[in-house]
Structure 1
Amino acid sequence: MLPAMSDIARHVPDARIDWLAEEAFAEIPSWHPAVGNVIKVAHRRWRKSWWSADVRAERRGLRGRLHAKRYDVVLDMQALLKSAWLVRQAQGVRHGLDWKSAREPLASLFYDVRHKVEFWQPAVVRQRQLAALTFGYTVMGRPDFGLQAFTRQAQHRAVNTDQRRNGAEYAVIMPSASRPDKLWPEDDWHAVFHRLREAGCSLRLLAGNDEETLRATALIEGFEGAEVVPRMNLTAIAKLLSGARMMVGLDSGLTHLSAALGRPTIGIYRASTPIRTPLVGDSFTASLGDRGAPPSRDAVLAAVEQALIA
């Protein structure tokens, strides 16, 4: 959604944007300079105890905040029943996708204005088109994720430390996923690690929980210059990614974030398809594999070679 925010800011210069976001990811919209307020939603946490007194109080608080402000446009960019439920609580003209365009068609019944956006297109394209139809402009140019602040900080650090000369370059690896059918074979990861170490890169592996930490630790056993990064908030991860020589990761939000930050990024798809969610960014990207057809070791190594010269 970030490029759509950049488009809105460019074409509707006096726009004041509030963004509803799941609390675990609320840092991300706060990075964009066009977003004024981030309103946190805790749907994932609430659904575990929906009718408890504390959760009911939190939901009442959110409803009160949404009712207190009248918006010119209320735009649902997810087209899910859970997001439509939130849209219905906000005051203003409600826009969203039509029945054939929405991921969950029933969500379209909750909008005042419905837009047609072809479903087969990549997600970044769909979001930009939906925003353009809502605000009446034409999408132009490459996607701008609005993350230039991270890029400038990384460039400043690189100049001050001269990473390449001092052997301080690193590659970020995301080898874990919430589903086992997304995982890539250990031997294939080791081949990638060997090539990156030959290129002078230390390895920094990301892990989101104890199980992923154990897997990442086992993967780098015997590799010098490799570490599992302690768990960090999303802003700290973005800073880490922005300074990396490249990232190689499974299809995950952090792999997509690396591409959005303009780093050479290789995504390994095994249980999902890159047709709708390819990596998008200003540097080299490779979205390899597909649902049920993981990329070969050779294909990933060939992409690593391209990323090394990007």
Structure 2
Amino acid sequence: MPPMMNVLIVRTSSMGDLIHTWPAVTDLLAHYPNLRLAWLAEENFADIAALHPGVRAVIPIAWRRWRKSLLSPSTWAEMRVFREQLRARHWDLVLDAQGLVKSALPAKLARAPLAGYGWSSIREPLASLFYDKKHRVSRQLSAIERNRRLFGLAFGYEPEGVPDFGVHAGPRAGWLLPGDYAVLLHATSRASKEWQEERWVQLADTLARQDGMVAVLPWGSAKEKERAERLAGKMHAAVVAPKLTLKQASGLLGHAAAVVGVDTGLTHMANALSVPLVAIYTDTDPARTGVVEGPRAVNLGNAGQCPAVDEVLAALARVRSAA
């Protein structure tokens, strides 16, 4: 392989999906450090792609916004600019790691050799019809391992060792008071993934009483902010975080003494930053989309199984002792 290839990775959304791709990017650059690597990502998640230090450029796509106004001339003008930006550079290879028609279509616009998952390896098999090179990867593997295997097959190496996300925390938030704090990631994409509010309150009050930790409650929408404020009002020692960029969120998480989170993107970011972490699953299978377990991280629960507060506290004590 030529040492200075231009490679475009296509992984558009969601936050967790992009974070699950970081270890594959780390693997790839460990084998080919001179690659000029760019990433095509949904505009709302472009900062996630940019957090990996090996990514030299991020090309944002606004499909979520465009599809709401496909008849608008301004939308079509933006789409033309996007296509021109995509074609302004010569790509030696484009790798669609998303495996969806909505990712394969813009990947094809790059007018370069296009690789991706084979017909039986993805949720939308039709996407594989766009690829010049197709790779078979078991759907039984975790999302992180699927990405690592796909990248390895596309570039001719075998991924080895534990996943290395390759990212580092941003600076500690200046608005935080000195001392240890626990980040409680209470917000997620649907109600069935949530942990009961009374359990969050019990957890926060126990951490304050036993360890002197203040609970920090981030949020991303008006509804989530209302929930954070409601929870904080019931806790003995808690603060609602201000509106955070993804880079600022990495700083908050990366300096935390503990993180407890439900199935959401920021929980996976905490996993990538190697902080003491307990991930709570109530409606999804952590074997497929859970955090990478190790001395500092553990998954609790499963679809239809809701961990008790005592379970979370015991698990948190174990991962904190390993930190």
Q: Which residue of 2 aligns with 1:256?
A: 268
Farther-moved stretch of structure 1 (247-256 vs 22-31): 22-31
| 1:37-186 equivalence runs, <5 A | 37-148=57-168, 150=169, 168-186=179-197
Farther-moved stretch of structure 1 (218-227 vs 104-113): 218-227
Q: Deviations over 1:16-46 (max 9, x none)?
A: 1110011111111212221111000111111
Q: Which residue of 1 aligns with 2:319?
A: 307
Farther-moved stretch of structure 1 (254-263 vs 277-286): 277-286
* Residue 174 of structure 1, CA deviation: 0.9
Q: Which residue of 2 aligns with 1:160?
A: none
* Residue 68 of structure 1, CA deviation: 2.6
CA–CA separation in structure 2 for the residues paired with 1:91 and 1:12: 23
* Residue 170 of structure 1, CA deviation: 0.4
- Aligned amino acid, residue 40 of structure 2: L
* Residue 58 of structure 1, CA deviation: 0.8
- Aligned amino acid, residue 96 of structure 1: G
Contact persistence 1:260–1:281 (CA under 8 A): no
> Per the alignment, in what secondary structure is the counterpart of residue 166 of structure 2?
coil
Q: Deviations over 1:123-165 (max 9, x none)?
A: 11110110000000111122121213x27x56xx9xxxxx9xx
Farther-moved stretch of structure 1 (207-216 vs 243-252): 207-216
Contact persistence 1:80–1:104 (CA under 8 A): yes
> Per the alignment, in what secondary structure is the counterpart of residue 138 of structure 1?
coil
Farther-moved stretch of structure 1 (25-34 vs 245-254): 25-34
Q: Which residue of 1 aligns with 2:37?
A: 17
Which 4+ residue blocks in structure 1 deviate beyond 4 angstroms? none
CA–CA separation in structure 2 for the residues paired with 1:44 and 1:207: 21
- Aligned amino acid, residue 128 of structure 1: R
* Residue 195 of structure 1, CA deviation: 2.1
| 1:187-202 equivalence runs, <5 A | 187-197=198-208, 198-202=210-214
Residues 37 and 114 of structure 1: CA distance in aligned 2, closer, same or farther (over 3 Å): same
CA–CA separation in structure 2 for the residues paired with 1:281 and 1:68: 41
Contact persistence 1:260–1:282 (CA under 8 A): no
CA–CA separation in structure 2 for the residues paired with 1:21 and 1:98: 21
Residues 202 and 116 of structure 1: CA distance in aligned 2, closer, same or farther (over 3 Å): same
Q: Which residue of 2 aligns with 1:26?
A: 46
CA–CA separation in structure 2 for the residues paired with 1:51 and 1:145: 40
Contact persistence 1:69–1:91 (CA under 8 A): no
CA–CA separation in structure 2 for the residues paired with 1:244 and 1:199: 13
- Aligned amino acid, residue 151 of structure 2: A
Q: Deviations over 1:220-259 (max 9, x none)?
A: 2242331110111100010111100011011100000001
Contact persistence 2:187–2:264 (CA under 8 A): no
CA–CA separation in structure 1 for the residues paired with 2:295 and 2:252: 17
Farther-moved stretch of structure 1 (31-40 vs 107-116): 31-40
List runs of 5+ in structure 2 lacking aligned partners: 1-20
- Aligned amino acid, residue 294 of structure 1: C
TM-score, normalised relative to structure 1: 0.91
CA–CA separation in structure 1 for the residues paired with 2:270 and 2:105: 31
Farther-moved stretch of structure 1 (167-176 vs 290-299): 290-299
User: Over aligned residues, Cα RMSD in angstroms?
Assistant: 1.8
Residues 307 and 194 of structure 1: CA distance in aligned 2, closer, same or farther (over 3 Å): farther
- Aligned amino acid, residue 256 of structure 1: H
Q: Which residue of 2 aligns with 1:278?
A: 290
Contact persistence 1:259–1:282 (CA under 8 A): no
* Residue 189 of structure 1, CA deviation: 1.4
* Residue 281 of structure 1, CA deviation: 6.7
- Aligned amino acid, residue 126 of structure 2: L
Q: Which residue of 2 aligns with 1:243?
A: 255
Contact persistence 2:201–2:234 (CA under 8 A): no
CA–CA separation in structure 1 for the residues paired with 2:304 and 2:237: 33
CA–CA separation in structure 1 for the residues paired with 2:317 and 2:156: 43
Q: Deviations over 1:38-97 (max 9, x none)?
A: 000111111111221111111111111222322111100010110011111012110000
Contact persistence 1:261–1:281 (CA under 8 A): no
User: How many pairs are equivalent?
Assistant: 299
